Amino acid sequence: MKALQFVSAGSYVVNDIPVPQIGADEVLLAARSVGICHSDIVLLEGRYILPFRFPVTPGHEWSAEVMEVGASVSSLRAGDRVVGECVVSEVDHFGFTMNGAMSEYFVAKAAWLHKIPDNLSWTQGALVEPFSCGYNATLKADNLDASDTAIVFGAGPIGLGVVAAAAAKGVRVLIAEPSEARAQLALELGAEGVLDPSSESFVEAALEATRGGASVVFEASGHPSAMAATLEVAAFKARLVNIGIDVGRSAPAKLGLIQAKQLQIRGIIGSPGVWPETIRFLSRTGLDLSKLVTKTVPVAEATSAYDAVINDKTQVKVHVTSDAH
Ligand SMILES: [Zn+2]
C-alpha cells in the first residue's frame, strides 16, 4: 500500500509498504480523507511535544471506512464510516508518536473511534478533529448564547471552527484577522464583521463595534500580542477562552484589566471528551466546513500536499484522499 512517511527532519516520501496487521482490540481502516495540520509540520521538523521516532506516518484529522475488525471488537463492523481521536493517552498521540492515517490503510484501536452519520461526507468527517477544538472552545465559554457578542482572534482552521460553532449557536461574531481571504471565509461561516488586528485603531474599532467590549473573546491565533489584546477588547465580566498555541514568546499586556473588568480567563487544550457532541452538532446543524479545504490530492501524490502546506501561505486546509478497497 502507499503511505506517506516522514523519514527524517524535513524529509518526506510516499513509500510502498505492507498493509499492517491488526490485534484483537484493533481495526483495519481504509483512509478516505486526511487533513494536514500545522502540528504535522512541527512533527516533520522533529520537535513535537512528545518523544517520537522517524520514520512515522502523520495524519490525525481523518475519516475512514472499517475494512476488518479484531476478534474482541463488537462495536464496529466492516463498512462502518468512522473518525478517530488523536490524544489516545498521556504518552501517545495518534499520527505523532505512532503511525497515523496518511496512507491507504492504517490501524487504530476500536476505543478511539466514533461512527459518523451518513449526512457527513468523508471531507466533513476529516474536519471533525479540527472543528472539535473550536466547538470545545464555545463549550468552555460559560452559557454562550444569542445574547453574546464574541470576538474571535485568528481565522485559521481552529478559529474558523469557533466562528462557525458560535454563529450556529446564534452568537453575534466578529473576526479579528489581518488576511482578507481568511476573513472572507469567516464571513461565509457566519461572522458578522471583520476587525483588522494589525491596524493602529484596532482596539478602538473593536470597542465601537461591540458597544463597549465583547462579552466573550476567543483567542485562536497563538500570537502573544493578540492574547494581550483580548484583555482590551473584552467587556466588563467577559469570558475569555484561549485555544491558540504559543511556546515561549511574550508581549506587553495591560494585566490590570483582568481585575478591573473582573475577567474570567480560561485556557484549553484540544477537544478531549467532546467528540460525540461535536458529531451530533455537525449532523444536526448541517454546518458544512468543507469550504476550508483549499486543495485536495490523492495519497500517491501526498508529498505535493505537504509541499503546498509548507510553501503556499494561501492554503487553509489541504486534504489527501484515498479510495482503496
Ligand atoms: Zn490537527
pLDDT digits (tens, 9 = 90+) for 67-116: 999 999 999 999 999 999 998 888 999 999 999 999 999 999 999 999 99
pLDDT at 219: 98
Cα 84 to averaged position of ligand 1 atoms, centre (Å): 12
> What is d(CA 162, CA 196) in angstroms, rounded to the nearest whole number?
18
Cα 235 to averaged position of ligand 1 atoms, centre (Å): 31
Cα 225 to averaged position of ligand 1 atoms, centre (Å): 23
CATH superfamily of 2-127+289-321: Medium-chain alcohol dehydrogenases, catalytic domain (3.90.180.10)
Predicted confidence band of residue 294 (pLDDT cuts 50, 70, 90)? very high
pLDDT surpassing 90 at residue 217: yes
Residue 24 contacts by C-beta under 8 Å, 6 or more apart in sequence?
A: 70, 71, 72, 73
Over range 171-197, report the average pLDDT: 97
pTM here? 0.93
pLDDT surpassing 90 at residue 3: yes
pLDDT at 90: 87
pLDDT at 111: 95
Domain spans of the chain? 2-127+289-321, 134-267
> What is d(CA 135, CA 156) in angstroms, rounded to the nearest whole number?
14
Three-state DSSP class for 173?
strand
Cα 60 to averaged position of ligand 1 atoms, centre (Å): 6
pLDDT digits (tens, 9 = 90+) for 108-166: 999 999 999 999 999 999 999 999 999 999 999 999 999 999 999 999 999 999 999 99
Cα 131 to averaged position of ligand 1 atoms, centre (Å): 9
> What is d(CA 25, CA 69) in angstroms, rounded to the nearest whole number?
8
pLDDT at 5: 98
Cα 186 to averaged position of ligand 1 atoms, centre (Å): 19
CATH superfamily of 134-267: NAD(P)-binding Rossmann-like Domain (3.40.50.720)
Predicted confidence band of residue 272 (pLDDT cuts 50, 70, 90)? confident
Take residue 66 and report the three cell numbers written for it.
472499517
β-bridge pairing 81-84 and 113-115: antiparallel
pLDDT at 63: 98
DSSP 56-102: B----EEEEEEEEE-TT--S--TT-EEEE-SB-SSS-BBTTTB--S-
pLDDT surpassing 90 at residue 247: no
Cα 211 to averaged position of ligand 1 atoms, centre (Å): 35
